[in-house]
Amino acid sequence: MAQVPQRFFDALAVRTWCGLSLRALGRAREEIDAINVYPVADGDTGTNLYLTVESAVAAVEAVFQAHSVDAGEPDAGGGPSLADAVGAMAHGALIGARGNSGTILAQLLRGMAQVLTAGGEPAHTDGPGLRLALRHAAESARQAVAHPVEGTVLTVASAAADAADAAAEGAAEGPEGDCAAVARAAYEGARAALAATPGQLPVLERAGVVDAGGRGLVTVLAALVETFTGRAPGPERVAVPHARVAHDEAAGECAAEEGDESGPAFEVIYLLEADDAAVARLRRRLDALGDSLVVVGGDGLWHIHVHVDDAGAAVEAGVEAGRPYRIRITHFGHGDAHTAGTGRPPRERTQRAVVAVVPGEGLAGLYTEAGATTVLARPGEPPASGELVQAVRRAHAREVVLLPNDAELRHTAAAAAEQARAEGIRVALIPTRSAVQGIAALAVHEPERRFDEDVVAMTSAAGATRHAEVAVAERQSWTTAGICQAGDVLGLVDGDVAVIGADVTEVAATVLDRMLAAGGELVTLVLGDEAPETVTAHLEARVREAYLAVDTVVYRGGRQGALLLIGVE
């Protein structure tokens, strides 16, 4: 369904922007990772930006849920204010910021929030207000970095603010509305500045790429344009090295030219509760210890990021300043170094495990019986990548097959897989779009065979399974089958609405007939708690009578969101 454009920057626009940014970064994550050569060629900028925005999205959604505003509905007066939404966005990004670029993005969002929450709690802001927010964002991000470098995300942010300044005057007269004009100008200014970054940093020029953090910011600004226009700007095309070694060679050559044999060994990140004076002293201490220092936050809560050789000293400096927590230490090139050990020898890892996202308690039990580690996705509460990483760790295996079982989770699962790989775990992501595809994949899983062969067999089984679901429409919407009203029964085949009706059994039968028209050998039915008990019996009888040599298996899914899941192999 098409994105409904927002004219003003209000709470709903903040929510829309965050969601669009997350999806756009999910699509661009691997490309951004591939061009990451500065300040460290560790190939994780796209993943870090995705995780930072994911945390911001979760915080904004929590505010909307607290105000009981239905997803996608206009605010009728009882929803969160603009200040509530941008405050949650900034706080979520701050506590979830990852890496150098993620930390800077968190400060950009905080800088916007500071302007948009100043002087009371307006219901919305217009183009000039958005322009001021973008300007303060760029300035505050630059101040947060100990030694700003041109040709980075800071340069791109400043160019976006400059272009927004030029566009703000008279923007309200434009056909798209003043916020749209400012957002589009900021995006175009950022895009032009991004293209110029290789001429500002030798390491980028040698690798033949633009700045990865700046590329991520352009993606976020493109989502802002889409928020106000309903249309996303065309995809960016950037140069990508053919191999990761190109990053390492380019970075090494640049360092050699500058007389620096190697950079610091560790990245240290933590949240810190401390007052302003203590943080000022901490800045000076950390600046002497290492480089790439970024300190963002305020009002007693700070996010600290620095590259150092002595990780212990960086943490001790935080202890002297206040209360550090969520400490993360990464040894460049060697995955994560976790300092909080238990003193016990590590448990031996199993060779292989399957981790699956499942939509209901019934399916969770089924998957667990088959040997999978499960992550429960309750209706309206999709898991974050951090939950998937925890599940991968909990599986305690050298090799993990990850089944997201939802098309909307593919980017989240990809980010989780990237994190797990950084910890030395071999992860294969099978792009299952439904739990019934996951059942098919799990049915052919054989831990004893070679990993690649097992992944190919599971992928093939999932791909050979068509999937459908029967659900109830929550609101009036345009669909591929026409306009549906709230309360209509929808039959979705392979993710698209194919049938709109009033009776669950009739819609389910129509959907099943359409799926079996192309052939099939096995029908899998997963019944949700709210579906009529008679629907599966009716469908089983229909298969027996009308489709010879087709078997049917029925499972109870529990509270799975959809009334019925259907798989045809």
Contact 472, 492 (CB under 8 A): no
41-56 pLDDT, tens digit each: 777 889 899 999 999 9
Pairwise CA distance, residues 308 & 288, whole Å: 10
* Residue reference for tokens 């300043």: 321
User: How open is the CA angle 7-9-12, to the nearest 5 degrees?
Assistant: 90
User: 562 pairs with which residues across the strands?
Assistant: none
Instruction: Work out the number of other CB atoms within 10 angstroms of the CB of residue 229.
Output: 19
Do residues 279 and 201 share a domain? no
Do residues 291 and 410 share a domain? no
Residue 354 belongs to some domain of the structure: yes
Do residues 459 and 481 share a domain? no
Do residues 309 and 253 share a domain? no
493-534 pLDDT, tens digit each: 998 999 999 999 999 999 999 999 888 899 999 998 888 889
How many domains does the chain divide into?
4
For residue 290, the domain's CATH number is 3.30.70.1710
Do residues 249 and 301 share a domain? no
Burial of residue 522 (number of CB atoms within 10 Å: 0-12, 13-18, 19+)? middle
Do residues 227 and 133 share a domain? yes
pLDDT of residue 5: 63
Sign of the four-CA dihedral 54, 188, 243, 306: negative
Last residue of a domain, one of 334, 361, 381: 334
pLDDT of residue 366: 87
Low-confidence stretches of the chain (pLDDT beneath 70): 1-6, 68-78, 119-123, 168-177, 235-262, 333-348
User: 289 pairs with which residues across the strands?
Assistant: none
Pairwise CA distance, residues 308 & 278, whole Å: 20
User: How open is the CA angle 271-392-438, to the nearest 5 degrees?
Assistant: 130
Q: Report how far apart, in Å, the C-alpha atoms of 47 and of each of 21, 33, 156, 212 are.
A: 13, 7, 19, 11
What percent of the chain is modeled with pLDDT above 90? 50
3-state SS assignment for residue 267: strand
The boundaries of the domain holding residue 314 are 266-334
pLDDT of residue 123: 65
For the entire predicted model, the pTM comes to: 0.70
Do residues 96 and 223 share a domain? yes
214-273 pLDDT, tens digit each: 999 999 999 999 999 988 887 655 554 443 434 444 444 444 333 344 578 788 899 999
Do residues 246 and 368 share a domain? no
